[in-house]
Copies of this chain bind each other. A is one copy, B any other.
Amino acid sequence: MVSSRPAESSSRPARYELLTLGDELLLGLTANGHLSFVGSQLGRRGVLLQRNVTVTDEAATIEQEVRRSLAESDVVLVTGGLGPTVDDRTREAVAAVLGQKLVFDESIRDAITARFAQIGRRVAENNLRQAYRFEDGEVLPNANGTAPGLWFERDGKVVCLLPGPPNELQPMFTEQVIPRLERLGFLRQREAYVQIRTAGIGESALELKLQPVLQPFGEALSVAFCAHQGHVDCRLSSPSGALDLVRLEEIAGTCAKLLGEDFICLGHDSLGRVCADLLRESEKTLAVAEAATGGLLAHAFSDLCGACKFFAGGVVCCSQDSKMLLLGVPECLMLQHGAASAECSVAMATGVAESLQADYGLAITGFAGSTGGAGGNPIGAIHLALHTPQGTWSRQLSYPGPRGTVKNRSVNAALDWLRRELLRARSGSTASSSKFGALQ
């Protein structure tokens, strides 16, 4: 067993590796969400995950990779292959590497039995394969599934096995794994970096704009840019430790001032959350209507806790009929200008705000699909409209690209417009006149 070491005192930071198992990852059937989740959880606690390996779930392969990772790292996290079926071989393979016997654990069996009883099912023979732990290891109970996590420490190193389903892994990681790693001094109390989130400015333009602020710090400051679909993040860190977090935050603050309205936030808040905070603050409500983005815009808000307080609801249109029926868009307007038009987007924004008695109405219409638009509208031509207490405006965007990209960019463009409008309303300006983010 390792002895606990005080946080931040070790000369060498703990080295973490993540081993994600499953043919479904290698076949591209399931995205490797565990890398995103574990990587960001560790990143927020001052640790950069050093390596992630995804391999098939054959016993010999698992053994080889665990042996390699264990030789090179302090903490080896392994996900997947703990299920009840014959293709779940992680437990046995890791036990072989560690030279540990697997012992039947009655507490696990009781938890599995209780879980099955709760959902009115009988425990099958193969489910009891999950009731084994390493002889010198510990069990991490699973509140959301049958496979418990397994924890093993030796010679200052940790091996931790986690179940594959994200809804089981994630709470287990934050509630049980993180506190254990903290106790061992394997985490820091703070993020490894400060993130500046921006919209309306491209990656290279952002780099040029921030250069006068960032360049003077030379080698002491590490800067990384990452472009997403509708916003660009800039990460500041100091791998040498020459600049502490307070100093990094000061530098980020200077950047934020320089960026003006293009600055969204420090950290990881989504555009939806930033808009939600501004709506709550001003005690205003929002309704949305969307044709090209089919539910994604509504989801940006309804996914937030307590959304009912500021989000009045949304309408997802598909046919021309539904626009008219639910939003009161006049038929003659649709016939004259088409469903994917500035005129229609304005009628949608106003219509949904009035129908749902909301202060703001945000609408998206256009053609995101690959089968193109009628009436001379090219694929990727999107119309946004924003209804506010001061008036209603529309904007046209054009995003050539695959359907998913067009949808995400359209939603982010709409949210960014609303964000700028709410900022402007807060500062007392009344006209929707400022720059509209030309999202890259």
Contacts and interface: CB of A to CB of B under 8 A. Distances in A.
Interface size class of A (residues with CB under 8 A): 35 or more
Interface stretch (A131-139, A199-207, A385-393, A423-431): A199-207
B40 A207 contact: no
| Secondary structure of the A contact surface, majority rule | mixed
A217 interface: no
A100 interface: no
Given A87-B223, A321-B312, A405 B167 contact: yes
Contact of A27 (B32, B192, B316): B192
Given A28-B38, A35-B32, A83-B225, A355 B325 contact: yes
Interface string A362-377: 0000000111000000
Residue from the set A124, A144, A208, A224 with the largest chain B CB neighbour count within 10 Å: A224
A51 B52 contact: no
Contacts of A357: 321, 325
A50 B21 CA distance: 11
A317 B313 contact: yes
A235 interface: yes
25 contacts: A24-B233, A27-B49, A27-B193, A28-B40, A28-B41, A28-B43, A29-B226, A31-B35, A51-B55, A52-B55, A83-B203, A86-B207, A120-B438, A294-B302, A295-B314, A301-B318, A302-B316, A302-B318, A308-B319, A312-B322, A313-B322, A321-B357, A322-B356, A325-B355, A325-B356
Shortest beta-carbon contacts, A-B, top 4: A294-B302, A28-B40, A313-B322, A28-B39
